[in-house]
A and B are shown apart, each in its own frame.
Chain A
Amino acid sequence: MRTLWIVLRFEWRIVRNTVISFARRNPTGAYLIGGLMAAAISMIVLANLLLAGGLVAKIPNALTLFISVYIDLCSLIAFAAGTVLSALALRRGRLITESIRVLPVPLVTLCVGQLLPLFALAMNVLWLMTSGVWVVVMNQYQLVHWTILLESWVLTVASGWAGVVCYAIGTYLPRVFTRGSVSQTGRLVTQWAVILAAIAAAVALRNVRLSPGTITDWTTHGLGSSLLAILTMLILSVIGWVVSERTLRVDNPGPAATTWIKVRLQSRSLQGTITRWSFLGLLRDLDAFSYVYVFLLALGLGLWGIRYEVPEAYGFVSGAALYIAGFVTGSVALCAVGYDERIFWVLRTAPIRFGQYLAGKAWAHVGWGMALFGMLLVLDGGMGGFGTEQVLAGLSALSVCLLGFYLGSVEPITLEDHVRVTAASLCVVFLWGGINIVAHLSLPQALETWSVLAPVLVAATLLATRLRLTVWKHTSLWDEPSRDAEVERGA
Chain B
Amino acid sequence: MPSPVLEVRGVTKRFSGTGGISALNLTVLPGELMGLVGANGAGKSTSLKAICGLLEPESGHVLLNGHDVHASPVQAKHHLGYVPDGHDLPDLVTMAEYFEFVGALRGLPRGESIARGKAIMELLHAEQYLDSYLGTLSHGTKKKVQIVGALVGKPRLLVLDEPTSGLDAETQAVFKELIKACRNRGMAILMASHNLMAAESLCDSVTLIHQSECLFSGPMFELLKGERNLEDAVLSLARGTEWRQEVAHTVDRLAL
Contacts and interface: CB of A to CB of B under 8 A. Distances in A.
Interface of A: 3, 6, 10, 13-14, 17-18, 21, 89, 92-95, 97-107, 179-180, 252-255, 257, 262
Contacts of B174: none
A21 B16 contact: no
Interface in B78-111: 78, 80-82, 84, 86, 88-94, 97, 101-102, 104-106
Given A92-B92, A93-B90, A102-B53, A10 B74 contact: no
Contacts of B135: 92
A301 B52 CA distance: 48
A6 B105 contact: yes
A253 B17 CA distance: 9
A302 B78 CA distance: 51
* 6 smallest beta-carbon distances between A and B, as pairs: A97-B88, A102-B82, A17-B92, A104-B78, A104-B77, A98-B84
Size class of the B contact interface (CB-based, 8 Å): 35 or more
A102 B159 CA distance: 10
A94 B90 contact: yes
B96 to A, nearest CB: 10
Q: Is the interface of B mostly helix, strand, loop or mixed?
A: mixed
A255 B77 CA distance: 30
Nearest to B51: A102
20 contacts: A6-B105, A10-B93, A10-B101, A13-B93, A17-B93, A93-B91, A97-B90, A98-B49, A98-B54, A99-B84, A99-B89, A101-B53, A102-B159, A104-B77, A104-B78, A104-B105, A106-B74, A179-B53, A179-B54, A180-B54
Contact of B106 (A94, A104, A252): A104
Contacts of A17: 92-94, 133
Contacts of B133: 17, 21
Contacts of A14: 90, 92-93
B62 to A, nearest CB: 12
B54 A101 contact: yes
Contact of A105 (B74, B86, B89, B93): B74
Contact of B105 (A89, A97, A105, A262): A105
A106 B73 CA distance: 8
Nearest to A106: B74
A98 B88 contact: yes
Contact of A104 (B74, B84, B92, B93): B74
Nearest to A180: B54
A278 to B, nearest CB: 21
B40 interface: no
A77 to B, nearest CB: 24
A378 B74 CA distance: 47
Interface in B125-173: 133, 135, 146, 149, 159
A103 B102 contact: yes
A92 B55 CA distance: 24
A174 B209 CA distance: 32
A102 B16 contact: no
B82 A257 contact: no
A262 B16 contact: yes
B56 interface: yes
Contacts of A254: 14-16
B91 A92 contact: yes
A236 to B, nearest CB: 29
A260 B126 CA distance: 49
A61 to B, nearest CB: 48
A152 B159 CA distance: 56
Given A98-B82, A106-B73, 19 more contacts: A6-B101, A10-B93, A10-B97, A14-B93, A21-B133, A92-B90, A92-B92, A94-B90, A97-B88, A97-B89, A99-B89, A101-B53, A101-B54, A102-B77, A102-B80, A104-B75, A104-B106, A254-B15, A257-B16
Counting chain A CB atoms within 10 Å of each CB, the highest count among B14, B81, B105 belongs to B105
Counting chain A CB atoms within 10 Å of each CB, the highest count among B81, B84, B92 belongs to B92
B83 to A, nearest CB: 8
A18 B91 CA distance: 10
A107 B77 CA distance: 12
Contacts of B93: 10, 13-14, 17
A95 B98 CA distance: 11
Contacts of A253: 15-16
Contacts of A107: 73
A6 B52 CA distance: 22
A288 to B, nearest CB: 19
Contacts of A255: 14, 16
A95 B73 CA distance: 18
A99 B92 contact: no
Nearest to B135: A92
B89 A13 contact: no
A98 B74 contact: no
A18 B92 contact: yes
A179 B56 contact: yes
B74 to A, nearest CB: 5
A14 B133 CA distance: 10
A101 B74 CA distance: 10
Counting chain B CB atoms within 10 Å of each CB, the highest count among A6, A98, A106, A257 belongs to A98
A92 B90 CA distance: 7
Nearest to B94: A17
Nearest to B14: A254
A340 B82 CA distance: 32
Contact of B92 (A21, A102, A257): A21
A327 B18 CA distance: 45
Nearest to B101: A10
Contacts of B55: 179
